[in-house]
Amino acid sequence: MRGFLLSALAVCASVVAQTSVDSYVATESPIAKQGILNNIGPNGSKSQGAKAGVVIASPSTTNPDYLFTWTRDSSLVFKALIDQFISGADTTLLGQIQNFVTSEQILQQVSNPSGTVSTGGLGEPHYNIDETAFTAAWGRPQRDGPALRATAMIEYANWLIKNTSVSNVVSNLWPIIKLDLDYVAADWNQTTFDLWEEVSSSSFFTTAVQHRSLREGAALATTLGQTSVVSNYITQAGNILCFLQSYWNPTGGYITANTGGGRSGKDANTALASIHTFDPAAGCDATTFQPCSDKALSSLKVYVDAFRSIYTINSGIASNAAVATGRYPEDSYMGGNPWYLATAAVAEQLYDALIVWKAQGSLNVTSISLPFFQQFLPSVAVGTYASSTSTFTTLTAAVKTFADGFIATNAKYTPSGGGLAEQYSRSNGAPVSAVDLTWSYAATITAFEARAGFASPGWGAAGLTVPTTCQTSGGGGGTGTGGSGTVAVTFNVMATTFFGENIYITGSVDSLQDWSTDTALILNPANYPIWSITVNVPASSDIQYKYIRKVNGVFESWESDPNNEFTSPSGGSFIVNDVWR
């Protein structure tokens, strides 16, 4: 009888919590939507001075000054608006979308500290709201912006093809999209600042959205008859997909957010990547880290758990219940607080997973995702559970309650007027940092839509496989199994570092950058203090190399003499294990 009462009480509590979230969704949805529109020039009520189609990050001008337009934020915001327009949820947005296209076309051509349109300028993170260059010091380049802008515009282009003509898209939209895709294809493996603008290395979020952009870009190019670029886009997408696998940390059971930075790698970056590369047709594919994949779920648990004990407002919350989450546990910006968009992203990933499980009529528990599911059903075992089973019903209901808990957490710390800042205090939940953050509003809307079962059109993630031979170039590091005349050599070095310091390698062959310190390859600290990278080097060759240190991407020091040296085998793969000297 006692067990029955406890079960009944749990059901009642769940119903009350859902009702609370339903109420928040109903009241906050129009506020969040208006919050976005208020921040878009020229007529948004809080965007004075912004040109048409320009998205301001926030109207805040002091502590912090966010009255700029970021390519990343703008693209994510307009992707959400384009989704609403195409789905029929808001057919009044066409003018705003066209303004966005025109504005981004102008910004692409603005010379800036990252370069011109043809020399790297597309990687510039943000601009003044009058569409002029921001020239002060900043973490640049940031290579996720072009990929995200291409993805937003490709969705709009696909709608235009159906509703106007192919020639219209070829003339008016394809030139803008192609500039971004060409940039991604050429520079995807160059060092980049992460989406938090702090770490210069390779970033999971950036790599994931770059991969998506080239896949859907190749499909669009084919539709438009622009076939000359398709082969290169597909080839580079395969190389990116190969590199994407290297972020997985099997020992820790999570996706490492950045290859540099000296942090744990537990970061909202990975949940954001999962939801912004969600393809409902791909099911629970782990190769592209889909939201319901075992790796993405395992990683989500590790990320969420990292915040349970560090925020005062999370004290006393059960170990399997939702909590407020921030960017990463080591964060100190503005005191290191929960972010509305990060907490919403957790909910959205879970809602996306529920969409797929419902559609496919089953749920799969693997050894990797087992700890995630055991939060809700400790007795669950590895296996596949059809929708007709009680295990499926129990788990999906629990995940829905868990997801709603993250929305409820944001709701608890949303001011009475519904305005969403960037952060809320880790100690008392009061709004912190920039007010009316456009990305906070957009993240809230997309989480609400996922809760209602909405999913954007797929982008070609279904059925992809990692190529057996991968090639990399530039400063981002790489993976591979070797090609003709090459062997895959894994370099491991034990080296302790401080925050912002990273380990690189350079050496005597082209694939090791010919002793260049500028283009030296950054190693991955997923198993810190072991730093690793796999590089395809010439077979049967005498190869010399050294490790170097850089701080925030700036050369610091070589390891001591003599050079490291080995003879590569004639085939297969090879591992060298070193200790920094």
Of residues 31, 28, 76, the one with CA closest to residue 408? 28
Exposure class string for 270-281: b at 16+ Cβ within 10 A, else e: bbbbbbbbbbbb
Say whether both 513 and 407 belong to one domain: no
User: Structural domain tally of the chain?
Assistant: 2
Catalytic choice (194, 216, 352, 449):
194
Say whether both 442 and 564 belong to one domain: no
Q: What gap in Å lies between CA 80 and CA 18, rounded to an integer?
A: 24
How confident is the model over 426-456, as pLDDT tens digits?
999 999 999 999 999 999 999 999 999 999 9
Among the candidates 451, 478, 496, a domain finishes at 451
What does the pLDDT read at residue 475? 35
Does pLDDT of 498 surpass 90? no
Whether residue 194 lies in the annotated active site: yes
Is 481 within a domain?
no
What does the pLDDT read at residue 235? 94
Mean pLDDT of the chain: 92
Catalytic choice (90, 197, 330, 501):
197
Does pLDDT of 484 surpass 60? no
Say whether both 422 and 506 belong to one domain: no
Lowest mean pLDDT among 4-18, 238-252, 377-391, 466-480: 4-18
| CA pseudo-torsion sign 184, 187, 190, 196 | negative
- Strand partners for 437: none
193 φ/ψ angles, rounded to the nearest 5 degrees:
-80, 145
User: Residues 568, 541: contact at Cβ < 8 Å?
Assistant: yes
Give 499 or 523, the one with higher predicted confidence.
Answer: 523
CATH number, domain containing residue 519: 2.60.40.10
Does pLDDT of 76 surpass 50? yes
Q: Which amino acid is at 136?
A: A
Element (H, E) at 365: strand 362-365
Mean pLDDT of 191-211: 95
Exposure class string for 21-48: b at 16+ Cβ within 10 A, else e: beebbeebbeebbebbbbbbbeebebbe
Say whether both 502 and 434 belong to one domain: no
Among the candidates 451, 474, 500, a domain finishes at 451
- Which strand ranges, in their side-by-side order, compose the sheet holding 524-527? 524-527, 530-538, 486-494, 573-579
- Taking the whole predicted model, whether its pTM rises above 0.85 is answered as no
Does pLDDT of 531 surpass 70? yes
138 is known to lie in a ligand binding site: yes
Does pLDDT of 482 surpass 60? no
How confident is the model over 129-167, as pLDDT tens digits?
999 999 999 999 999 999 999 999 999 999 999 999 999
Residue 430, domain extent: 16-451
Is 477 within a domain?
no
Confidence of residue 472 (pLDDT cuts 50, 70, 90): low
Confidence of residue 483 (pLDDT cuts 50, 70, 90): very low
